[in-house]
Amino acid sequence: MQENRPVIRSGPPIAIAVLILITAASPAFGVARFQRADPPPSDTVLFSSPEMLEAWLEVDLERLLADVGNDRHEHLGRWSHMNGDGTTTEMSVFVRTRGNFRRQPEICSFPPLRLRFRDDQIGSTLFANQDKLKLVTHCRTDDREYQQYLLEEYLLYEVYQIVSDVSFRVRLARVTYADRRQNLPRIMRGAFFLEDKDAMAARLGGTIVKKGERAGELDAATTATLEVFQYLIGNVDWSVDDHDNIEVVEIGGVYHPVPVDFDLAGVIAPPYAEPNEALGVRRVGDRVFRGACRPRGELDAALSRFNERKDDIYALYRSFPLLEDGRRERALAYYDEFFDIIGDDQRIEREFTARCP
């Protein structure tokens, strides 16, 4: 596997350094460096860098991709990644498919993955202090647009980090998947690692709360920020009470909800997204505020946070070189509508508080 790896040369910031086509039908996915506004502090190596990670996974890919039933298994593979100094680290990894919706073959031909590394091999590597990690993948190999959907979901995690400190971290990667038995062609696509929930909670000085175990009310400021964020991105696929795409972290006796999984957000609108008419969503992309009725002062404080961070959010999209111009402009136009709404008191009343007593 080593001799077949592409040669990667570093490039200037905010630029695509290399474009590599795996097959004639494969989309180009370049190695990029970019700097988002105000990166969060990090206590683990993997999530401390804004650079895309160059990596390779060799496994029995054919069997792995077929193992999407309820009784799934781990598949032994070989993981390699390039370090900042140009050297390569290799180690064993156990890989299994994961997820619910995106694990269905009719939805994604390439499901999300979970990687488990051996403690005796991660040592002082980029994966030090990591155990099981979720890898969000491209869903469909034969459709270029799905690569863009993945990048947009990655950016939504970055957006939430801009408006909230109580958030998951992510690390963008370009992964070359090689079938150990060579029955499938190599696949090179973008992906991103999602911080483990327990690691996220520990980084924030807290612990994950299981469903039904919360002993107090959610922090008002954190919750209002989450609710407005979900409205910003046009996402209704979440529920705090059911822990649906929400983790709850207890920090010093205070409970904070943390959102996860944004692939169905209206700002992305992938083909498999469907409107939820039960919630008043008649078409994908329609915004519906699912937040609680709260004092106007709490809502205004959350809206002000988004207004204060608007320039940072737009700068994130404009400085991200891998997103196609059309997708970038579509997203920013979608956000323009949000900021128009929260800049108009009558529209705030109609969208956020009219249903409240």
pLDDT higher than threshold 60 for residue 290:
yes
In whole angstroms, what is the distance from residue 175 CA to residue 53 CA? 8
Question: Has residue 293 been placed in a domain?
Answer: yes
Question: Has residue 2 been placed in a domain?
Answer: no
Examine the domain organization and report whether 52 and 170 are in the same domain. yes
In whole angstroms, what is the distance from residue 205 CA to residue 251 CA? 6
Which domain CATH number covers 266?
Answer: 1.10.1070
Say what the pLDDT of residue 21 is. 29
pLDDT tens profile 160-185:
999 999 999 999 999 999 999 999 99
Look up the pTM and report it.
Answer: 0.89
Examine the domain organization and report whether 81 and 142 are in the same domain. yes
Examine the domain organization and report whether 249 and 187 are in the same domain. no
Q: How many domains are there within the chain?
A: 2
Dihedral-angle region of residue 254 (phi above 0 means left; psi in -120 to 50 means alpha; beta otherwise): beta
Examine the domain organization and report whether 135 and 184 are in the same domain. yes
Question: Has residue 214 been placed in a domain?
Answer: yes
Examine the domain organization and report whether 303 and 327 are in the same domain. yes
Question: Number of C-alpha atoms within 13 angstroms, CB side, residue 203?
Answer: 21
Examine the domain organization and report whether 23 and 155 are in the same domain. yes
Enclosing domain of residue 237: 204-353
Examine the domain organization and report whether 124 and 171 are in the same domain. yes
Percentage above 70 pLDDT, the chain: 88
pLDDT tens profile 252-275:
999 999 999 999 999 999 999 999
Question: Has residue 43 been placed in a domain?
Answer: no
- Structural domain ending residue among the three candidates 176, 199, 222: 199
Question: Number of C-alpha atoms within 13 angstroms, CB side, residue 119?
Answer: 0
